[in-house]
Structure 1
C-alpha cells in the first residue's frame, strides 16, 4: 500500500468467507462510499463460485459515477493466495451448514430447552464452537505464515471464542472482533432521550457510553449526551415501558419479526442490576438461567421477543441467492446504503487517516477488572495509526460479574476441549451452561445427538 495526498492506495484486503451474500455486500457498499482508500479485495470461500459471483458484483461498482472508492475484486481458490501480502484480513464465515445449525438450535427443543439465537452460548453455541474452533486454528496458522503483520477483523460467531482461538494459536496476531449489538442500545438511549426529555434525533455516535462485558452480554454503566447523564433518564424510560414494552418502529413489530423485540428483557435486567444490558434481547436471554426468559415459547412471548427458526434463515438464503443472480447478470443494480457497520472506519483509523473510539472484542489486558487476564472481553478501544488500545472500563457490579464469569470460564473450557478433542471437558461445559437445566441422562443423550449431527467437523474426536 502507499499513501498519496491523504489517501491510501493499493491496499490489500483478504476476505475469508468472501462468498457471503450479506457481510460481503455490506463491505462492498461501505468501501464504495469511502473515497480515501482503494486497492484490491481478495475473496476466498470454500464455495469458490459464490466468491467468484461476488468478484463480478464488486467489480461492477468501479465504473459507476456514484462510487467514490475504486476497488478491484478477485476470487481465489486457495487461502494462501488470498492471504499473501494482505494488509487487512476480514473473517466472516458460516461454520458448517444450515443442517448443523438446525441441530444446534432445534434439537434441544425436544428436551424443553429453547434458544432464541443458538450461536454464542447455550447448547447450540457450545456445539457450534466445537466445530468452529478447528477452522479458526487453521485460519490463525495461515495468517501467521502468509500475512503475520495484517490487522484481522472477525465477524463470525461465536465471536468471543473465534477471537480467543486466533490469539491462542498466534499470540502476536493483531486481531479483534466486531459486533453491532451495542449500537442498538445507543439508538435506544437516543429514543429514551426523545421520549423523556423531548430531545429529538440524536445520532447514535453522539451517545457516549462506557462498555464492559463479553460479546452479546455487554453492559453500560455510564451513558451521556453532551452534559446530560442518561442513566436516570433511562431508568424513567424503563419504569414507563417495563410492562408494555417499547416498540420504536410501528412497521417493525416483534410479533412478526424475530430479530426485533419490545426491549423487556433489557428493561428487566436493568431493574435487577441497575446498569444497562447492551445487546439485543434475543442474545441477552441466552446468558441467564433458562427459566427467566426462555422457559417455553409462551414465556418468550410474554417477554415480547422471538425465537429465530433456522427455517427462516434457509428461506432468506433462497432470496439472497436469487438476488445474487440478478446482481451478477446486471438485472438488478447494486444499491449503495448506510450499513451501520464500522469496519471501514476502523480500517481508516488503523491506516492513520482518522482516530476512532468504538466497542471491540479483544483479550483482557486489564481493561476490565474482575475478569481473567487474556479472556476475550468487549469494551471500547481507541483506533489510531497501526495501533489498537483498549479503554479502561472498570468493573462490573459483583452480581453481574458472577453471571459473566460463569460464561467466561465455560468458554475457556470449551476452547480447551476443542483443542484437545476432549469429550469429558466439552460435556462439562455443556452441562454447566445456564440453559441446560435437564437431568444428567437427558443432557448426555442430547449432547451425544448434537455431536453426532456435527461429527463431520469433529475430526480426531473419539466419538
Structure 2
C-alpha cells in the first residue's frame, strides 16, 4: 500500500503550477500526496496567492484529501519533504526579455535556453539551485529533487559536476511531447507497449528508434514526417515550426526535437527573430501577455480546473514529465522515462562523467539509462560534444563569477560567432542582470 507523501514545489507561484497540480490529482490513486507546499519569493507573493486559491478549488473539486499550503519560508516548507520540485525563474519574465532582446540587438539569436540568453539564465539560476540543494541536504536529505527549471541541462550538469547531491533528476516536457507525437502518428493504443530511444542533451535530443510491441516502426515514422503525411515532430509553442530538409532527415535517419532548428536552421530562425525584434517584439513579451491573461482567468472564483489557455504558455505536458518521474520513484515502477541524469559510463562513445538526456528506467533508486542505449549516434556526436563543452564551461562560470570563464563559455557556444561580439554582449548582459548575479559583483564593478 502506498504511504502518504509531502511534496514541496519551489516556484509555486508559477503559471505552470495548475498543470502540475492537475497531474497530481489525476494520479492520486497511485501517488497519494498528503501535503503539497507551494513556495515562492516575496516578489512572487501576489501570484502565489492567486495560484494557491485556484489549486485549492481544483483539489476541492477532485474530492481528494490533499492539504495545500503556501509560504515564503522555504526552509519551513522543506521539513519532512519526500519530493521537491523546482520551477523557478530568477528575475522573472523581465529578465527573460533582456536575455532575448540584448543578443538580438547585436544580430544574435535571443532565446531563453540557447545561445547568450540561455547562458545568462543559467548564470542566474545555478547558484539559487545550489542554495536549495544545501537546504535539502540539511533539512530533508532523503528527498528527491526533480528540476524543471531551465536551462535544465546546464543546471543538471552543474549539480552533478560541482556537488555531492545525487538525488537530483532533470525533467523537460519536450521528450514527452515527442512521445505523444509518436503515439498519435503511429496510432499507438493504451493496450500497446511503446518504447522510444531518445538520446542527446536537454533541448538537443533525437529519436533514434521507436518500438511498438517489440517491433521497430521508425522507418514508417520517419518517412511519414518527411513526406508530410505526419505532422512535424514535437513542435512547441515557443519555436517557429519550420520543416527540416528532407535530405537532411534521410541522411540523419533520426528525428530531431524542435530546438535543433537553432542549429540546423540558424539563419532562418535568426531571420524570423530579427523580424520580430525590429517590430518591437520578443517571445518574452508574448509570454507576459499570455501570463497576464492566465492570471486573470485564474482569479475567476468559478474556475476549478486547469484552463485550456495554459497550453499557450509553452509548458504543455510538464505534469506528465514531472509527475510520472515522481510516481515511478515512489512506486518503484522501473518505467521508461526521458530524463536528464549522469550516465556513469553507460554510453560507451561519450565521456563517462557527462549528464545527458535519454531514455531511462526510473524506480526507487532513481534513473538508470535504458540497457538498449549504449551508444549515441556518431553522426550527431560532434554537435553533442560541442554543446556539452559549452554547458560544462557555463556551469564553471556560474560558480566562479569569473569574466574569463564567462567569455570562454560564450565563445564555445556555436550561436555566437566572434570573440569581440561575445565580449560586447557579455558586458551588456552582465550590467543588465547585475541584481541577480551576485557572484559576478567584482567583474561587474570592473566593467562599470
How many angstroms does 1:353 deviate by? 6.2
Aligned to 1:147: 140
Aligned to 1:351: 330
How many angstroms does 1:208 deviate by? 1.6
Cα distance in 2 for partners of 1:130, 1:299 equals: 25
Cα distance in 2 for partners of 1:342, 1:77 equals: 26
Aligned to 1:55: 52
Matches within 5 A, 1:335-374: 335=306, 339=317, 341-352=320-331, 354-374=333-353
Structure 2 CA distance for partners of 1:235 and 1:44, relative to 1, 3 Å = closer
Question: Is 1:455 equivalent to 2:434 in the alignment?
Answer: yes
Question: Is 1:424 equivalent to 2:404 in the alignment?
Answer: yes
Aligned to 2:376: 396
Equivalent residues of 2:54, 2:304 under 8 A apart: no
1:98 to 89, 93, 96: 93
Structure 2 CA distance for partners of 1:172 and 1:101, relative to 1, 3 Å = closer
Q: Which has the higher contact order (CA 8 A, sep 6+)?
A: 2
Higher helix proportion, which one? 2
2:304 to 312, 333, 346: 333
Aligned to 1:220: 207
Equivalent residues of 1:289, 1:434 under 8 A apart: no
Cα distance in 2 for partners of 1:109, 1:204 equals: 48
Cα distance in 2 for partners of 1:276, 1:81 equals: 45
Aligned to 2:8: 14
Structure 2 CA distance for partners of 1:166 and 1:69, relative to 1, 3 Å = farther
Structure 2 CA distance for partners of 1:44 and 1:50, relative to 1, 3 Å = same
For structure 2, the residue ranges without an aligned partner over 5 or more in a row are 309-315
Cα distance in 1 for partners of 2:148, 2:432 equals: 25
How many angstroms does 1:95 deviate by? 2.3
SS of 2:244 mapped into structure 1: helix
Structure 2 CA distance for partners of 1:260 and 1:294, relative to 1, 3 Å = closer
1:180 to 173, 180, 183: 173
Matches within 5 A, 1:108-187: 108-115=103-110, 118-187=111-180
Cα distance in 2 for partners of 1:399, 1:359 equals: 21
CA distances 1:214-247 after superposition (whole Å, capped 9, x unpaired): 1111122221222542222133224413xxx964
CA distances 1:247-267 after superposition (whole Å, capped 9, x unpaired): 479xx9x9xx95465561385
CA distances 1:290-343 after superposition (whole Å, capped 9, x unpaired): 33x434129999xxxxx96211011011112212322xxx23233488956143
Question: Is 1:208 equivalent to 2:179 in the alignment?
Answer: no
Cα distance in 2 for partners of 1:372, 1:17 equals: 33
30-39 or 311-320: which moved more?
30-39
For structure 1, the residue ranges without an aligned partner over 5 or more in a row are 1-5, 194-199, 302-306
1:273 to 252, 259, 264: 252
CA distances 1:391-420 after superposition (whole Å, capped 9, x unpaired): 242222323001000010111001111111
Aligned to 1:286: 262
Cα distance in 1 for partners of 2:191, 2:117 equals: 32
Cα distance in 2 for partners of 1:150, 1:288 equals: 39
What is the TM-score with the length of structure 2 in the denominator? Answer: 0.86
How many angstroms does 1:444 deviate by? 1.9
How many angstroms does 1:383 deviate by? 2.0
Equivalent residues of 1:273, 1:399 under 8 A apart: yes
Equivalent residues of 2:103, 2:425 under 8 A apart: yes
Cα distance in 2 for partners of 1:398, 1:427 equals: 29
Equivalent residues of 2:394, 2:406 under 8 A apart: yes
How many angstroms does 1:85 deviate by? 1.2
Cα distance in 2 for partners of 1:162, 1:219 equals: 20
Cα RMSD of the aligned pairs, angstroms, is: 3.0
2:35 to 40, 45, 54: 40
Count of residue pairs the alignment pairs up? 425
Structure 2 CA distance for partners of 1:191 and 1:325, relative to 1, 3 Å = closer
Equivalent residues of 1:258, 1:308 under 8 A apart: no
How many angstroms does 1:192 deviate by? 4.4
Question: Is 1:376 equivalent to 2:355 in the alignment?
Answer: yes
CA distances 1:80-103 after superposition (whole Å, capped 9, x unpaired): 111121110000111222222112
